[in-house]
Structure 1
Amino acid sequence: MPEAGLGIAILTNNDNQSFFEMLRYQLLDSYLGVPYLDRSTQALRRKRQYEATQVDPTKALAERVSKKNKPTLPLSAYTGKFENKLFGQITISQKGKQLLVQFPTHPGLTATLDYMDDQEFRTTYSDLVFGVMPAKFEVEGGKVTNVELRVNDYVEYDPYVFGKL
């Protein structure tokens, strides 16, 4: 905020935008002498109102899996090593009728992938803090080129796209 001669840097190990946005406004309010407003409570109230109108996304994903659609490619086509320049490498292997994702940079963390439809798989992480999310594979010329993985927004807000090596 150059007009007030103020700059704020917030360092966090979480990429959840809403947390540091609310913290930033709380700091600005205090610095500028604005009457106190509990930004955290305000954000929580908005989040709860939003969630009350939402359908449980895990149920929708389970319904898509339950249709027992078949992928257009054999499961083995989705396996191999994948890389994201920021995150590093992951390995996807076949485990029966599922795929298994291993994260070498996160020992002990795995994810199972169950096919839904349209090159999307339901991702179920071994640590449920990461959530149950869709994973989208891209296929060009009959070959898998990349996969986009997501986790719960409060763990990491942005998805990671891993290119097949």
Structure 2
Amino acid sequence: MHNLEKMPEEGILLPKNPASKTRIFFELTEALEKKEPLFVEGISDSLKSLLALGFRGKWILYLCKTEERAKEILQDGKIFAENCLLFPAKDYLFYKADTRGNYISRERSECLRQLVEEEEGVLVTTLPAMLENLEGKNAFRQAVFTVQLGQTLSLESLQDSLQSL
């Protein structure tokens, strides 16, 4: 059981990150503590993702060149981090189509919800997704409302809530 690491709050067992024992990881940790700028070069792609995942306790943004690479990082990340998310870019060709467009909207909404509600995680995305114009965190937080199963809502209040979005 020495290859597993216990998450403090939830008691969840995750595999230990092998990169957390490397010299470069310790150098990055020291630089972050001193609030120095970070510059790393000459390491393999697989080590980059493992290094990023070693800094749990905060939100980590992992920016990828392509969506295919982002999906690879996401698969690696889910092994070492419980809250690893993909924020996909809008696919403007299929965004209005029912199946693909709804999936992308759902994924993006889930990412935004977790960014607001969770204290740590890994957000994997691409440059096109980052360049899209989004509302600010507070606007998103104010627009969220929850409906419970069995809850009764008046039609007028639901209409007002939806129109204000």
Instruction: Normalising by structure 2, report the TM-score.
Output: 0.21
Which protein is bigger by CA-based radius of gyration?
1
Higher relative contact order (CA 8 A, sep 6+): 2
Relative to its length, the structure with more helix (as a share) is 2
Relative to its length, the structure with more strand (as a share) is 1
Instruction: Normalising by structure 1, report the TM-score.
Output: 0.21
